[in-house]
Amino acid sequence: MFLLWILVLPLLPIVLINIFNKCSIVKKTTPLIGSLFTLIIILLYSASNNLLEVSSYFEIINLYPIFTSLDINMSFSITKISVVLLILANITITTALFSTYKIKKRLSQINTLILIISIGIYGLIIADDLFVFFLFYEVAVVPMFLMITNWGYDLKREVSGPFKKILSSLSVGTKSYGAYKITLYLLAGSLLIFLGLAIVGISEGTFSINEILNKESLNMSNDLWLAFFLLVLGFGSHSALWPLHTWAPDGHGTAPTAGSIIFAGILMKIGVIGFIKVIITIFNTAFIEYSSLFIILASINIIYGAFTAMMQDDLKYLAAYASLSHIGYIFLALAMNNETGLSSAILQTVSHGLIICLLFFSVGLIFNLKGTRSIKELNSLSDNSPLISSIFIFAAFASVGFPLTSGFIAEFLIISSVAQSGNFLLIIIPLVGIFITTIYMFRTVKKICLRYVQSKESISTISYDEKLICFILILTIITIGIFPNFFLNFINGESIKIILGV
């Protein structure tokens, strides 16, 4: 029950940083202390409920009714998976808060936005009621518009092809374009989700995911099929499922570092969470029936994202397409519909969240230092700023799934789950994806870190707070990579439950 305090806790630093907005220490430290307390609450909650011991856990909290006539309640449900995701969200938010340290322009306001987004994300993860789910979604997405328009970057993007006129008339690449695109895209997506959820809620007479699950089995009427496809489109666009992914590169490219971190780290995962929470659980039969569609889309995501990433010049675009490719692995694992698949999808969600945080954070560091994110212009980082380059190289190794990082365990399990499902030929797809990832990641490393160009730059280093957060991220990635059993034991019970539909 007291876990719900994490939804209220961020309000305190919001008030504090806006009152004392002249004092830089308050502006910088209170949000961090706030998120530290959030983490403590989550850990205390896990400890008090013995989450490490029990195989699965479920708590439903019904606060108050919103609309009694439609049976919509302010209700939350907490499982072990949501605890894992809460911790991931917390790490992501903390990284985002650290990344704003160098921002001089209206620091208190960007931190306020991040904290508001954090409320949205926490609520979203534990929401049980479909209406509440949608409510928190909007809380998480809308502040992003302000973030990009105020702290974003204008980019140049050349256009050609049959849609040249359309693209150039919309002035692609500018930050207002990015902000509108990301907001409209995601709001359109969440509108579809809302419609879908409303159809489900009204036809089942309840809006609680838990109660819908408890019913015997869903009779797939025409309405429900419509709802299924609406939800797939909505969640798909949120998690950048091909071809609904184009918001991701533009949004990431124009957003400030904090925005990119939050987006790639956790908001893109919301679509995945939605898939796990709503589509796989409620529409299990429909999902299995259409699993080949999801396999095809996931494969396109993996290969297409990797190939596109290879030709990007902007590091953020590269990271955005890389995460597109990595999201593909999650969907591939989900489509296998076996226990390993679900566990590995959750593991990949967490692992990719951490790795992409690190990648975007290091890109932010490079940008702060050099003032550019262009791969062509950057060089000799390993000589001039060894620490940043080491962090970037580590992130590259983690994202190609190198052993002893969490990426390896996730990819190993995903490929195992594909093999378990009997499609031996299908394991080629993730393997090819990993190989192309190796090519573009190490091409980039070669160009920006190792390539040496004579210059008079002195060796630069990074500040202690930046070191701290990178250290935490690297440590988490390696810990999951070396002791995967701890993590897997934590979520396995839940994933069996979801697969069996208990």
Residue of 394, 474, 399, 381 lying closest to 436 (CA atoms): 399
Q: Are 228 and 279 in contact (CB under 8 A)?
A: yes
SS3 for 77?
A: strand
Cβ at position 190, least distance to another protein in Å:
17
Cβ at position 414, least distance to another protein in Å:
10
Cβ at position 116, least distance to another protein in Å:
26
SS3 for 75?
A: strand
Q: How far apart are CA 173 and CA 431, in angstroms?
A: 33
Binding to another protein by CB under 8 A, coded x per residue (else -) over 178-197, reads: --x---x-------------
**Is residue 169 part of the contact set for another protein (CB under 8 A)?**
yes
Cβ at position 297, least distance to another protein in Å:
14
Count, residues near another protein per rule CB under 8 A: 64
Radius of gyration of the chain (CA): 22
**Is residue 164 part of the contact set for another protein (CB under 8 A)?**
yes
The DSSP 8-state label assigned to residue 76 in this structure reads E
- Restricting to residues 363-422, which ones interact with another protein according to CB under 8 A? 382-383, 386, 397, 400, 402-404, 409, 412-413, 415-416, 419-420
Q: Which residues of 321-336 are buried (b: 16+ CB within 10 A; e: fewer)?
A: bbbbbbbbbbbbbbbb
Cβ at position 38, least distance to another protein in Å:
30
**Is residue 498 part of the contact set for another protein (CB under 8 A)?**
no
- Restricting to residues 306-345, which ones interact with another protein according to CB under 8 A? 307-312, 338-340
**Which residue of 22, 68, 162, 214 would you call a contact of another protein, by CB under 8 A?**
162
Nearer to another protein, 34 or 407 (CB): 407
Q: How far apart are CA 273 and CA 279, in angstroms?
A: 9
Nearer to another protein, 59 or 383 (CB): 383
Cβ at position 396, least distance to another protein in Å:
11
- Restricting to residues 230-259, which ones interact with another protein according to CB under 8 A? 243, 246, 250
β 58-67/72-79 pair status = antiparallel
Token pair listed for 72: 């919509």
Q: How far apart are CA 298 and CA 320, in angstroms?
A: 16
Nearer to another protein, 2 or 424 (CB): 424
Q: Are 436 and 299 in contact (CB under 8 A)?
A: no
Nearer to another protein, 6 or 182 (CB): 182
Residue of 464, 186, 437, 222 lying closest to 329 (CA atoms): 437
Token pair listed for 329: 């692995």
Q: How far apart are CA 377 and CA 382, in angstroms?
A: 15
**425: number of CA atoms within 13 Å, CB side?**
0
Cβ at position 170, least distance to another protein in Å:
6
Nearer to another protein, 112 or 437 (CB): 437
Q: At 63, which amino acid appears?
A: L
Cβ at position 330, least distance to another protein in Å:
17
Nearer to another protein, 123 or 401 (CB): 401
Nearer to another protein, 21 or 380 (CB): 380
SS3 for 205?
A: coil
- Restricting to residues 411-470, which ones interact with another protein according to CB under 8 A? 412-413, 415-416, 419-420, 424, 427-428, 431, 434-436, 438-440, 442-443, 445-446, 450-452
Q: Give Cβ neighbours of residue 373 (< 8 Å, ≥ 6 apart).
A: 314, 315, 316, 363, 366, 367
Largest CA distance in the chain: 72
Beta bridge partners of 257: none
**481: number of CA atoms within 13 Å, CB side?**
22
CA angle 462, 468, 471 (to 5 degrees): 100
Binding to another protein by CB under 8 A, coded x per residue (else -) over 66-105, reads: ----------------------------------------
Only one of the segments 22-30, 215-223, 267-275, 485-493 lies at the binding site for another protein (rule: CB under 8 A); that segment is 485-493
**H or E stretch covering 417:** helix 406-420
Nearer to another protein, 92 or 325 (CB): 325
Cβ at position 423, least distance to another protein in Å:
11
Cβ at position 276, least distance to another protein in Å:
19
Nearer to another protein, 177 or 283 (CB): 177
Q: Which residues bind another protein (CB under 8 A)?
A: 157, 159-164, 166-167, 169-170, 172, 180, 184, 243, 246, 250, 304, 307-312, 338-340, 382-383, 386, 397, 400, 402-404, 409, 412-413, 415-416, 419-420, 424, 427-428, 431, 434-436, 438-440, 442-443, 445-446, 450-452, 484-485, 488-489, 492
